Amino acid sequence: MRPESLFPLFGPITTLKGVGERVAPLLRKVAGPLVRDVVFLAPTSVVARRPARVIDLVEDAVQTLTVTIESHQKPARPGQPWRIRAFDDTGFVHLVFFKGVGAHLEQRNPVGAVRAVSGKIERDRYGTHLQIVHPDYMVSFERAADIPQIEPIYPATAGLPSRGVRRLVLAALERAPVLPEWQDPAWLAKQRWPSWREALASLHTPASEADVSLQSPHRRRLAFDELLAHQLALAQRKQSARADPAPAVAASALAERAQAALPYRLTGAQTRTLAEIRGDLQSGRRMTRIVQGDVGAGKTVVALLAMLDVAASGRQAVLMAPTEILARQHFETLAGPLAAVGVKAVLLTGRHKGAARAERLAELASGLTAVAIGTHALFQDDVVFRDLALTVIDEQHRFGVNERGRLRGKGEAAHMLALSATPIPRTLELTVYGDLDVSHLDEKPPGRMPVATRVAPMPRLDDVVARLNEAVAKGAQAFWICPLVSESEILDVAAAEARWEALRAVFGETVGMVHGRLPSTVKDDVMARFVDGSLRVLVATTVVEVGVDVPAATIMVIEQAERFGLAQLHQLRGRVGRGSGESSCVLLYDPPLSETAKSRLDVLRRTDDGFVIAEKDLELRGGGDPLGLAQSGFPAYRIADAVAHRDLIAAAADDARLILARDPALASPRGQAVAVLKELFDWRPDGSVSQAG
């Protein structure tokens, strides 16, 4: 239940003065539907409106001056601006207005009147004098104090400029009550942080540029509040998942036999991860675990052995992949080992229709088939399992947040095992996977050679193609990736097609192409021909499935590599170097390359550790959604910045755990204050933020 003290903040924005029918939709777009959302809208920068005399004006600076109106210069021709000439003791300045506002201007600013004016200083076209085009402020001398010396700049939208937003934020701020302190007093004192209410006030009335820094004490305090609220929600969700009963599944002789039949031995990390999974499966409590392992770390076999334990117990398991191609490939690699130990598996994707689908559904409903492998088609309403005990979600980051929510719903009582190849830096892991148990598959199978990576400018394309031709003549296979970057996918696809045409001149019929606009039957056919070796070069947009395994492919060329995130480049590069032969990767870029871009690409040359790469990417790219993770459940923080405030994440997680351990019902005085904090941020179970009042 929402505490009464928060009612004013949870009112709709229309309760704010100045938010009527016109402004409401704009403010909703900028901040959200609630007063609370406006209060938490942080300024992104400040404009310092330094007072100056005309003689001290600096071009391109924003400055504030006090001047007397000397004359109005009316436009001689339509299209020309209205100019006001004004002066102080040290010189003249022009105030320039376009769009027929002249008569009104003259009336309001008669000759001889004194005005405080603020705006960006420019030099006029002929270089003869300084001017301000459309001053941000122009007020009477008495109201000069209305011009803030330091003005916070807010996110704005057409029709609602920053200044309008600021006015509404200040109105919303007045609604913010003083609330009981939810932070530990000793921690607050140690950090020298202000109270919540004081911190909010400082957020919106910065007195210097340092005050809008993400590292200012008030901003860090508010960020910590948000991180703590989020960690509390995650910890509670983890607790409640752990409380769900689920079938106890024991390690099986069947899995042992399958393991013994593998052509390799499990790595230490695979053995450890399998033990962690088995611990969960045996517990009688529902497993919610994610395996984080770099591309090629060998996640599939770990999932296979867990599924075999489930099959041996007489129950069913499903493995779900984000795409048709990947599901098919999993089925092809797993059906053999499964059949070898007498376990029947079935493939179910969107392609199975009518009788084919009905037959498969019947097998799953009767329990005849123990393992199902497929795409989302597995989670349609008409798919019924006799006794589903384990859901494995491969490449889980490829599923949207909503889809994942539905998955959880479907396999209510089933254990859940997610596999992810997007390395999340350890520092951020708690924000993304705080509600899951995490296993790290941080060791690659032995014998893998690092992929020799080099960076080359586009003008060297002919060289690259010539070398590729030599390698292909010697039997190599290659991926050639064209980015999807422009606003229009059609243009991107056209670029990929042009590249394909160009390469056909060299490689003839042995170069194929896949992109997202092709029908999936065509895509699959091309992929299949690449896998069986009849195609030697595959031109692809990034639809090249993250998990697709083509062991014979040893060369990866990526065009416009500078436009990809490092983590994504790493994923793409992970498509090669899967066998034991030497592989290489060429990162082509359009010169010139900025220093940052250069050092980013350089990271890939120097390391092939996905976690190191993710960490570097974070450093080099800074805040926002640096890893493109919004889709994979990365929280949309209002105040906190997962990168800038990453030093606070672990502390918030510890604090959340401690609070819940001591006071699970949040009944103590601090517990009650913490409950208010939780309500204030209102994290919904799927990790998003409630938007509705």
Q: Which of residues 84-103 bind ligand ADP (CB under 6 A)?
A: none
Q: Whole-number minimum distance, CB 331 to ligand ADP, in Å?
A: 13
Q: Whole-number minimum distance, CB 466 to ligand ADP, in Å?
A: 31
Token readout for 614 is: 């993710």
Contact map string, positions 420 to 459, toward ligand ADP, x by CB under 6 A: -x-----------------------x--------------
- What long-range pairs does 529-535 form, CB within 8 A, spacing at least 24? 530/477, 533/477, 534/510, 535/477, 535/510, 535/511
Q: Whole-number minimum distance, CB 320 to ligand ADP, in Å?
A: 14
When asked if residue 296 is in the footprint of ligand ADP (CB under 6 A), the reply is yes
Interface with Mg ion (CB under 5 A), residue total 1
When asked if residue 267 is in the footprint of ligand ADP (CB under 6 A), the reply is yes
Q: Whole-number minimum distance, CB 270 to ligand ADP, in Å?
A: 6
Question: Quick one: 547 exposed, middle or buried, by C-beta within 10 A (0-12, 13-18, 19+)?
Answer: buried
Respond yes or no on whether the N-terminal peptide bond of residue 78 is cis (omega within 30° of 0): no
Interface with ligand ADP (CB under 6 A), residue total 17
CA distance 681 to 225: 9
Q: Whole-number minimum distance, CB 577 to ligand ADP, in Å?
A: 10
When asked if residue 547 is in the footprint of ligand ADP (CB under 6 A), the reply is yes
Name residue 65's beta-bridge partners: 117
Residue placing its CB nearer to ligand ADP in the complex, 265 or 598: 265
| Residue 295 binding partner per list ligand ADP, Mg ion, none, with a CB distance cut-off of 5 to 8 Å that depends on partner kind | ligand ADP
When asked if residue 397 is in the footprint of ligand ADP (CB under 6 A), the reply is no
CA distance 576 to 573: 6
CA–CA distances in Å: residue 581 to residues 445, 450, 584:
14, 10, 10
Amino acid sitting at position 435:
D
Residue nearest to Mg ion (CB): 547
Three-state secondary-structure class, residue 393: strand
Interstrand relation of 288-293 and 437-441 (parallel, antiparallel or unpaired): parallel
Span of 170-178, 240-248, 260-268, 595-603 interacting with ligand ADP by CB under 6 A: 260-268
Q: Which of residues 512-551 bind Mg ion (CB under 5 A)?
A: 547
Name residue 119's beta-bridge partners: 63
Q: Whole-number minimum distance, CB 262 to ligand ADP, in Å?
A: 8
| Residue 119 binding partner per list Mg ion, ligand ADP, none, with a CB distance cut-off of 5 to 8 Å that depends on partner kind | none
CA–CA distances in Å: residue 288 to residues 36, 281, 419, 501:
33, 10, 11, 47
Span of 130-138, 188-196, 262-270, 508-516 interacting with ligand ADP by CB under 6 A: 262-270
Gyration radius (Cα) of the chain, Å: 31
With CB under 6 A as the contact rule, the residue among 297, 436, 642, 653 that binds ligand ADP is 297
Q: Whole-number minimum distance, CB 123 to ligand ADP, in Å?
A: 59
Residue placing its CB nearer to Mg ion in the complex, 321 or 639: 321
When asked if residue 172 is in the footprint of ligand ADP (CB under 6 A), the reply is no
Residue placing its CB nearer to Mg ion in the complex, 269 or 482: 269
Residue placing its CB nearer to Mg ion in the complex, 441 or 652: 441
CA distance 179 to 585: 56
Residue placing its CB nearer to ligand ADP in the complex, 267 or 584: 267
Three-state secondary-structure class, residue 687: coil
The 10 Å Cβ neighbour count of residue 462 is 8
| DSSP codes joined into one string, 20-55 | -TTHHHHHHHHT-SBHHHHHT----EEEE-EE--GG
Three-state secondary-structure class, residue 309: helix
Check the CA dihedral 573-576-581-582 and report its sign: negative
Residue placing its CB nearer to Mg ion in the complex, 65 or 302: 302
Three-state secondary-structure class, residue 634: coil
With CB under 6 A as the contact rule, the residue among 119, 135, 298, 411 that binds ligand ADP is 298
679 phi and psi, to 5 degrees?
Answer: -60, -40
620 phi and psi, to 5 degrees?
Answer: -80, -25
Q: Angle of helix 489-507 relative to helix 461-473, nearest 10 degrees? A: 50
Residue placing its CB nearer to ligand ADP in the complex, 321 or 558: 321
Instruction: Give Cα 247 distance to the centre of its chain.
Output: 35
When asked if residue 300 is in the footprint of ligand ADP (CB under 6 A), the reply is yes
Q: Which of residues 546-575 bind Mg ion (CB under 5 A)?
A: 547
When asked if residue 328 is in the footprint of ligand ADP (CB under 6 A), the reply is no
CA distance 569 to 295: 12
| Residue 276 binding partner per list ligand ADP, Mg ion, none, with a CB distance cut-off of 5 to 8 Å that depends on partner kind | none
Q: Whole-number minimum distance, CB 264 to ligand ADP, in Å?
A: 3
Contact map string, positions 276 to 295, toward ligand ADP, x by CB under 6 A: -----------------x-x
| Residue 187 binding partner per list ligand ADP, Mg ion, none, with a CB distance cut-off of 5 to 8 Å that depends on partner kind | none
Q: Whole-number minimum distance, CB 560 to Mg ion, in Å?
A: 26
Q: Which of residues 432-461 bind Mg ion (CB under 5 A)?
A: none
Instruction: Give Cα 303 distance to the centre of its chain.
Output: 26
Token readout for 289 is: 């675990």
Q: Whole-number minimum distance, CB 461 to ligand ADP, in Å?
A: 30
> Which residues bind to Mg ion, rule: CB under 5 A?
547
> Which residues bind to ligand ADP, rule: CB under 6 A?
264, 266-267, 270, 293, 295-301, 421, 445, 547, 549, 578
